[in-house]
């Protein structure tokens, strides 16, 4: 189990990431700016963080497996509520571009590139043992060549990636995105935090 943390480092406009010490579950966002120790993000303060990275989308369409490489970029607001509750977040932007390097999810044809984009914002809460649990999760899948679109979502519209220092780790265990029994996929990989202009990171 890890301490949930946001870490901010800015020395001469260069960013560095320093991992937190592993501890029992701490359901609050934290910040660090060397040489200071970790400290809670002040209650009620809202920070915007961005993250991204290379991901894999793998699944099946009508029994035909597919696996493709993607690039992810996203933005999220985070805060520790003034009432002392668990740290909260809201995924405001989630966008993936997946190259057409083989079979593809419905309704795309084999070899067609596609994008995934959030439909609405996804509220989130830090959760035991070391997760960030997003609710109301739904993505719009758009086939790049044909322009065909459809929606996908995990069961109960809940997506539950693991949270480590400055990274969300997602796998099939985080939630499998499905469409009407025709097609499903999982998002696999690390969503790494990108230092923001003001120096705060997750």
Question: 168-187: per-residue pLDDT in tens?
Answer: 999 999 999 999 989 999 99
* pLDDT higher at 1 or 39: 39
| Contact present, 141 and 104 (Cβ < 8 Å) | no
- Report whether pLDDT(188) > 90: yes
pLDDT exceeding 90 applies to what percent of the chain? 62
Position 99 scores a pLDDT of 86
pLDDT tens, 11-39? 222 222 222 334 567 789 987 766 677 77
The confidence band for 41, taking pLDDT boundaries of 50, 70 and 90, is confident
Long-range contacts of 50-54 (CB under 8 A, 24+ apart): 50/74, 50/75, 50/76, 50/193, 50/194, 50/196, 51/76, 51/167, 51/168, 51/191, 51/192, 51/193, 51/194, 51/202, 52/191, 52/192, 52/194, 53/189, 53/190, 53/191, 53/192, 54/189
Position 47 scores a pLDDT of 87
Mean of pLDDT values over 131-145: 97
Position 101 scores a pLDDT of 79
Position 35 scores a pLDDT of 65
Mean of pLDDT values over 137-152: 97
- Report whether pLDDT(200) > 70: no
pTM of the model: 0.84
Position 34 scores a pLDDT of 63
CATH of 44-194, one of 2.40.50, 3.40.50, 2.40.160, 3.30.2030: 2.40.160
pLDDT tens, 69-81? 999 999 999 999 9
Domain boundaries, the chain: 44-194
Task: Copy the structure tokens of residue 131.
Answer: 């997760």
């Amino acid at each position: 189990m890890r301490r949930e943390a946001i870490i901010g480092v800015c020395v001469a406009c260069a960013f560095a990431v320093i991992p937190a010490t592993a501890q029992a579950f701490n359901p609050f966002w934290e910040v660090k700016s060397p040489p200071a120790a970790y400290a809670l993000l002040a209650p009620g303060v809202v920070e915007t963080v961005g993250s991204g990275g290379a991901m894999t989308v793998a699944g099946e369409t009508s029994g035909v497996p597919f696996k493709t490489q993607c690039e992810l970029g996203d933005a999220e607001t985070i805060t520790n509520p003034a009432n002392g509750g668990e740290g909260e977040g809201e995924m405001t932007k989630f966008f993936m571009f997946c190259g057409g390097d083989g079979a593809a999810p419905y309704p795309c044809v084999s070899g067609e590139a596609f994008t995934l984009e959030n439909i609405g914002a996804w509220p989130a809460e830090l959760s035991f043992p070391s997760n960030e649990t997003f609710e109301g999760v739904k993505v719009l899948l758009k086939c790049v060549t044909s322009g065909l679109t459809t929606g996908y979502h995990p069961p109960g519209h809940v997506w539950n990636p693991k949270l480590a220092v400055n990274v969300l780790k997602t796998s099939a265990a985080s939630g499998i995105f499905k469409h009407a029994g025709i097609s499903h996929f999982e998002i696999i990989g690390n969503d790494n935090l990108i230092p923001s202009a003001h120096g705060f990171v997750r």
